[in-house]
Chains A and B, each alone.
Chain A
């Protein structure tokens, strides 16, 4: 691979480009706006939509830029009357059998077809409504993906995703000509663990997520970059959330965020749907055994137990905690002469793992735990030990304990009530670093504006730590 860049002229401006790539990806990277449906960064070119046409000096006809090799000195025109007419005409053909039902379409607001019409189309439609073909709508392909054949532009991104990326080949094009449609292979349903990525890949409203459908208009959504906590892979995600008046700030979906080092442009369906866990069954009140306590009262009681009881103290930390939170727990453990453990065995889930984006280590910060030198085995516990259980899945075995929990305890599991239970905010309401299983560190912003007063773990611990204890940060920096 040569790294020597070459100069080409685009719309009269000379630019430096990489000759090893095709024209379209280079131009898109350089900020040129060229409409395209079938080309997609991870899936490459297919050459079927014919939208990305540009004019090249010396070529009689417009060329599809997704399949045009770069030649030094070439002159490319992406603007101008003739090429814009070509674009408009092809766009018109994309739309002749389209139902143009944007007002009731979930894709509206993030639809390529809509954007391109506003940017390049704006023509007066010539098609007679009676001439439109009608197709099936609301087809359940499986895996939470719904298909509206009328809205489809047949770019085949979904087909190529299942063929080239997941190698599961559930989707295909059936029929011919303008009666072509996307469907599943006979007898199959869409059933791979990454299937919902096709709803992101689909440039139009043909494939939508059953989960997100009709929940929220996309222009009301705010997007925060974050990291999925579903497993130790740490896929980069965007969290789409909205706060409507009088309501809590609510997460509507997770979408993959591009990170070539980790997940490319995709995430697994389990991770995508894990947003629900961050806002349902949350614990909001302090409890003593089963009696509700005020927050201040609970803190006082916790202090009393920690300082007055003679029991040796063991802290069990959730390996999904941010590195900062783990470091604060280390400081906490030092202050109270406690032993800190983050037992990892509980997070091991071989049934979940695969050879791509799903790791059988389900703890998001297992690597952070190891780097901070926190013990990862399960200590032997009995009721002569005071357990401070910080959201650990196996932390509820003994009665002599204080729970710091994000979620209400599952009523279906056999569980001894804790002496004291305090709520802490789930990860989306807090911020910090995670280190994934490959040692890549990522920062998660606090996503949600706080709807309820549930303090974060750091805020809880602040009541117990000497404010001047800089060793928390020092310890973290040396460990990382």
Chain B
């Protein structure tokens, strides 16, 4: 039986939880009031010791990323950027934080800025999140008015200014370097990867980018301690994640759970089982970019990075798409590839041309004009898209194609062999 753990979502169900008044009544900004008791190094050390992993999909250790911001950098200003460009199909957890508990995010940003010596922070929010942006901006305005943000945060001798930057509707701008290009006013194209470990750069200044939920986890770690966080989850995936559940379940939504929870138990407990008592066919475990799991694989899966990797998939953002027997997997792949085709930024050749070509071939297969060579062609194109581009958009699309075609080959063959060209 699953026990509810609420670290990030603890104020989600309160009425008016997005207002400063309610948030403060329920503990918001305690860590900032007592900021003088903490040193920046202490905060970084706590985050490092907690084993917190980035919750935007990659799962990279947050502490190590923060350490890259250490140093003088010739006295250049340091920036903190929060990635709220949540655009992955099946993923909608950050939107919950933005609309239900924006003050938790602001508190996390204050702690992060203080720890890293940054005075200016930006939230890059997905353009389509218009209402959430309104709520977030309202919360920021409230915080400024209350002296929580601004020249001296809650009376401490430390300035933090927070600005919301709206995206213009490109999925790729959720990729951190494309996000920074976009914030610099340029076309959102991912940058070439650096040759050594270094922070990101915003107008040439050292910059930390973290996901909304990662930053929102920081207040808990700072106030309760690293061990309190580590008591949940597994050894290598400590803590909890806001898993988003969608698809053919009875109660879709966002539910926080510790890493390591069994996938099926999670679907049963929070999702209330498969819709209309149907049978499970497949699960996309962590947002559209993660390879699909068959029902058999889903039965073995646990919601942590290692287990998912062991099954040849990935935990990603934890946005699960549950599919029952009614789903046609060829159509599902076409749906996914239409997304990748639409969202490829067009910078690298394999991705720009590959996603469109795959989409066109799938359209042909669905029109029953495909032939058996098409499956090999799909896998060939997928191979060319994998690992040969600037960012991981194309490799993700490639893994999605491979998993669908290989695991549900019979469904593809049915399209190819009935009424299709030879």
Contacts and interface: CB of A to CB of B under 8 A. Distances in A.
Contacts of A50: 348-350, 388-389
Given A47-B192, A86-B384, A86-B388, A94 B353 contact: yes
Given A97-B353, A178-B355, A178-B356, A89 B344 contact: no
B356 A177 contact: yes
Interface in A74-98: 86, 89-90, 92-94, 96-97
Contacts of B187: 172-173
10 contacts: A48-B349, A49-B348, A50-B350, A53-B388, A128-B360, A175-B346, A176-B344, A178-B346, A178-B353, A179-B346
Contact of B349 (A51, A67, A133): A51
Interface string A93-120: 1101100000000000000000000000
Contacts of B348: 47-50
Interface in A393-424: none
Contacts of B343: 176-177
B384 A176 contact: no
Given A50-B388, A93-B357, A176 B349 contact: no
Interface string A161-194: 0000000000011011111100000000000000
Contact of A133 (B195, B344, B356): B356
Interface string B356-379: 110011001000000000000100
A178 B388 contact: no
Interface string B38-73: 000000000000000000000000000000000000
A173 B346 CA distance: 9
Contact of A178 (B195, B341, B390): B341
B349 A93 contact: yes
A49 B377 CA distance: 21
A251 interface: no
Nearest to A153: B349
A463 interface: no
Contacts of B342: 176-177
Interface residues of A, number: 35
A245 interface: no
Contact of A131 (B350, B357, B388): B357
Contact of B346 (A67, A86, A89, A176): A176
Contacts of B344: 176-178
A467 interface: no
Contact of A69 (B195, B349, B357): B195
A473 interface: no
Given A96-B357, A178-B341, A154 B387 contact: no
Contacts of B341: 177-178
Contacts of B195: 69
A467 to B, nearest CB: 65
Interface of B: 170, 187, 189, 192, 195, 341-357, 360-361, 364, 377, 380-381, 383-384, 387-390
Contacts of B377: 126
Contact of A93 (B192, B384, B387): B384
A127 interface: yes
A154 B346 contact: yes
A131 B360 contact: yes
A16 B114 CA distance: 49
Most chain A C-beta atoms within 10 Å of own C-beta, residue among B187, B192, B349, B357:
B349
A89 B348 CA distance: 13
B361 A61 contact: no
Contact of B384 (A47, A48, A49, A90): A90
Contacts of A177: 341-346, 351-352, 355-356
B350 A93 contact: yes
Given A127-B357, A177-B344, A48 B380 contact: no
Contacts of B350: 50, 89-90, 93
A127 B364 CA distance: 12
A225 interface: no
A61 B390 contact: no
Contacts of A131: 357, 360-361, 364
A6 to B, nearest CB: 16
A92 to B, nearest CB: 8
Closest 5 CB pairs of A and B: A180-B346, A178-B356, A177-B344, A93-B353, A89-B384
Contacts of A96: 353, 357
A382 B346 CA distance: 70
A10 B372 CA distance: 40
Nearest to A51: B349
Given A47-B192, A89-B384, A93-B384, A176 B353 contact: no
Contacts of B354: 93
A455 interface: no
A142 interface: no
A264 interface: no
A154 B384 CA distance: 18
A334 to B, nearest CB: 63
A38 to B, nearest CB: 9
Contacts of B389: 50
B255 to A, nearest CB: 34
Given A89-B384, A126-B377, A131-B360, 8 more contacts: A47-B192, A49-B348, A61-B387, A94-B353, A131-B364, A176-B346, A177-B355, A179-B346
Nearest to A91: B349
B338 to A, nearest CB: 11
B349 A89 contact: no
B391 to A, nearest CB: 11
B167 to A, nearest CB: 14
A175 B384 CA distance: 23
Contacts of B361: 131
Nearest to B353: A93
Contacts of A94: 349, 353
A179 B348 CA distance: 13
Given A93-B384, A126-B377, A153-B349, A47 B357 contact: no
A112 to B, nearest CB: 13
A40 B195 CA distance: 21
Nearest to A60: B387
Interface string A125-140: 0111001010000000
A153 B347 CA distance: 10
A133 to B, nearest CB: 7
A177 B188 CA distance: 12
A357 B317 CA distance: 53
Contacts of B353: 93-94, 96-97, 178
A227 to B, nearest CB: 38
Interface string A35-66: 00000000001011111010000001110000
Most chain A C-beta atoms within 10 Å of own C-beta, residue among B170, B347, B380, B384:
B347
A154 B187 CA distance: 14
Contacts of A62: 387-388
A40 to B, nearest CB: 16
B195 to A, nearest CB: 5
A58 to B, nearest CB: 15
Interface in A410-463: none
Nearest to B380: A89
Contacts of A180: 346, 352
Contacts of A175: 346
Nearest to A126: B377
A13 to B, nearest CB: 25
Most chain B C-beta atoms within 10 Å of own C-beta, residue among A89, A172, A177:
A177
A163 to B, nearest CB: 10
A97 B384 CA distance: 16
A176 B192 contact: no
Contacts of B383: 89
A285 B192 CA distance: 63
Contacts of B352: 93, 154, 177-178, 180
A212 to B, nearest CB: 28
